Chains A and B, each alone.
Chain A
Amino acid sequence: MTDAVVLGTAHQLAGRALAWLHRAHQDGLGGIGWDAGPDLSDPNEAYKPIGECALAASLVLREPVAGPADRERARALLDFGWVQLQGGDLLYERQFRHLLLTDPAETYAPFHRAGYRHSRLDALLRELAGLRSARAVECRPNRRLAVANARSVLGLPPAPDWPALAAATWLGATPEPWAVDWLTGYDLTHAVFHLTDWGALPDRLPAPLRDYLAAWLPVWADVWQETGQWDLLGELLTVDACLPAPVCGRSGWQALAAAQHPDGLLPRDAEPVDPETAFKDNEHTAVVGVLAGTLTLAQALR
């Protein structure tokens, strides 16, 4: 059973992070630019964050834990993103021009989950799902899981072999827990997110991996909490929320809440926040805060 202090902290932190994202979009930040073509000179600049925002918002709507005001903000974030993606045309054009890219389906999935549709993109993705070429595109194992889960959310065949996909990841090897680095920390969190469809299916995580995480997740959270890696700590607490029951305790949540600024900004790390680049630098962490809080509350209701 999740600790009531954790639930209260998670609720407040997620609500404030969501409000911060929403306010930033209202202030004109986070847009992709009206002249953006399918080639996107820098997909990480605005395109990827739009997908990430949509992901967080789609889960706020999926889980029955947010109040009406937060649900309204989540809907507004999705509407904003869908407009930025030109009603899905940008995704369609990008997939049409670059058959083997996986990001159009990955970006489309959260919008699709929240009820947005683009029929030509649906048809194109169905066609590509039948191609051996598209299915065999080479990518890192945790990225392969991301694609498999996006296709699963979109209802595309074939049904993935989840145990095989899990086994190919770093986490799947149940490695020495003391031999992890910062980037691999993110690899393992993403493996869990996609394997469990963001906490909805904790049992899709193979039992040995659940046991492994129950043993070592508290250590990683402790170590990166001490160094003020708030973004990674938030992802690790999100992993905790994707397990059948939490294992991390309240200290990580309290540290994260203490790091959050009065305006809701959740800093990515312990470095000073540069006001000039505050939004771009910390928008991913805001998304993580919304995810961590929402899924922690959802886990307590399961």
Chain B
Amino acid sequence: MPSTETSPRREYAAATEWLAGRALDALIGAGGPALLLDTPDAPAHRALLAAAHVLGPDLLAPALLAGRPPDPATTKLAAEAHQVFAAADPAAPPAAALVRAWRGWTTAGLLARAGHAGPAELPSGPPDDPAWARWSQPMAQLSPLALPGLDSPVHLLARQRALDLARGATRAALRRDHRTALRLARWLAWLGPADCPLDLPPLLSHLTLTGDGTPRSALDLALCRALGGPR
């Protein structure tokens, strides 16, 4: 098999962690909500684009939470990533394709706010499996949509099925699948304490201590905490 056909997944995964670390710094660091991207340890540009597409709305979250427009470099990276990677993956199973469609649509919406207009067709419908345990899985994958000021049929469903999200987070924590628990906790943080069926701070503390310690998880945790703060 020629080398161009091998999956670049490992490289993209590493780049995603690197970029999540930059977003985390922008979110909680002293330097403000601009991402510091041109450092010597930066991944190759192609991998950086893939990482930006994987993080999607999370890349723009530090600015969103700071109530400012995203910095031009981050916006440009997000826009290019969206342009290069937003195409449908012909090999994706339908559930994964739906998750990609929603994340892409959300990123496109945030880019449009920042002045990068692009085609953004509303996906066919939100994941709607009536069984809470199965439904919570695509919702965990859609956790980057859990940001203030965003709204869509996915968000409407999240509000309507708050208990199912809390059950999913509880189930994931009991299975010690901390990454999934954290992603669902993100939705619970987004709902806010009045609408969250679970006492969230103890779960976040627990996930902080028992999580996998990756930048992506640290970013999710920081976003959970930021969502819990004043909006």
Q: Do A and B come from one complex?
A: yes
User: How far apart are A91's CB and chain B's nearest CB, in angstroms?
Assistant: 40
User: How far apart are A29's CB and chain B's nearest CB, in angstroms?
Assistant: 36
The answer to whether B166 touches A176 (Cβ under 8 A) is no
The segment from A18-26, A44-52, A105-113, A211-219 that touches chain B is: A211-219
Tell whether A180 is near chain B: CB-to-CB under 8 Å.
yes
User: How far apart are A219's CB and chain B's nearest CB, in angstroms?
Assistant: 5
Cross-chain pairs A/B with CB under 8 angstroms, 26 sampled? A176-B198, A176-B199, A176-B202, A176-B203, A177-B170, A177-B198, A178-B170, A178-B173, A178-B181, A178-B203, A178-B206, A179-B202, A179-B206, A216-B170, A218-B167, A219-B167, A219-B170, A219-B171, A219-B174, A220-B174, A222-B133, A222-B171, A223-B171, A223-B174, A226-B175, A249-B131
Which B residues touch A223, using CB under 8 A? 171, 174-175
User: How far apart are B173's CB and chain A's nearest CB, in angstroms?
Assistant: 4
Chain B, 162-198, contact with A by CB distance < 8 Å: what is the 0/1 string?
A: 0100110111011100000100000000000000011
Chain A, 175-188, contact with B by CB distance < 8 Å: what is the 0/1 string?
A: 01111100000000
CA of A261 to CA of B215, assembled, Å: 48
CA of A215 to CA of B197, assembled, Å: 9
User: How far apart are B45's CB and chain A's nearest CB, in angstroms?
Assistant: 41
Count residues on chain A whose CB falls below 8 Å from chain B CBs: 14
A178-B174, A223-B174 in contact; A216/B206 too (CB < 8 A)?
no
**Main secondary structure on chain A at its contact with chain B?**
helix
User: How far apart are A109's CB and chain B's nearest CB, in angstroms?
Assistant: 34
User: How far apart are A233's CB and chain B's nearest CB, in angstroms?
Assistant: 14
Chain B, 127-147, contact with A by CB distance < 8 Å: what is the 0/1 string?
A: 000011100000000000000
**Main secondary structure on chain B at its contact with chain A?**
helix
CA of A23 to CA of B181, assembled, Å: 46
Which A residues touch B166, using CB under 8 A? 215
CA of A223 to CA of B133, assembled, Å: 10
Which A residues touch B181, using CB under 8 A? 178
Q: Name the residue on B nearest A251 (C-beta).
A: B131
Which A residues touch B203, using CB under 8 A? 176, 178
Which B residues touch A179, using CB under 8 A? 202, 206
Which A residues touch B202, using CB under 8 A? 176, 179
Which A residues touch B163, using CB under 8 A? 215
CA of A176 to CA of B166, assembled, Å: 11
CA of A255 to CA of B202, assembled, Å: 32
Across the A-B interface, give the 7 residue pairs with the lowest CB-CB distance, nearest first: A178-B173, A178-B170, A223-B174, A219-B170, A177-B170, A219-B167, A219-B171
CA of A197 to CA of B160, assembled, Å: 35
The answer to whether B167 touches A215 (Cβ under 8 A) is yes
User: How far apart are B171's CB and chain A's nearest CB, in angstroms?
Assistant: 5
Q: Name the residue on B nearest A249 (C-beta).
A: B131
Chain B, 198-228, contact with A by CB distance < 8 Å: what is the 0/1 string?
A: 1100110010000000000000000000000
Which B residues touch A216, using CB under 8 A? 167, 170
Within 8 A of B (CB), among A217-235: 218-220, 222-223, 226
CA of A222 to CA of B137, assembled, Å: 14
The answer to whether B174 touches A180 (Cβ under 8 A) is yes
Which A residues touch B206, using CB under 8 A? 178-179
Which B residues touch A177, using CB under 8 A? 170, 198
Q: Name the residue on A nearest B181 (C-beta).
A: A178
**Additional 11 contacts, C-beta under 8 A, given A178-B173, A215-B167, A218-B132:** A176-B202, A177-B170, A178-B170, A178-B174, A178-B181, A179-B202, A179-B206, A219-B167, A219-B174, A222-B133, A222-B171
Most chain B beta-carbon contacts within 10 A, residue among A176, A178, A219: A178
CA of A216 to CA of B167, assembled, Å: 7
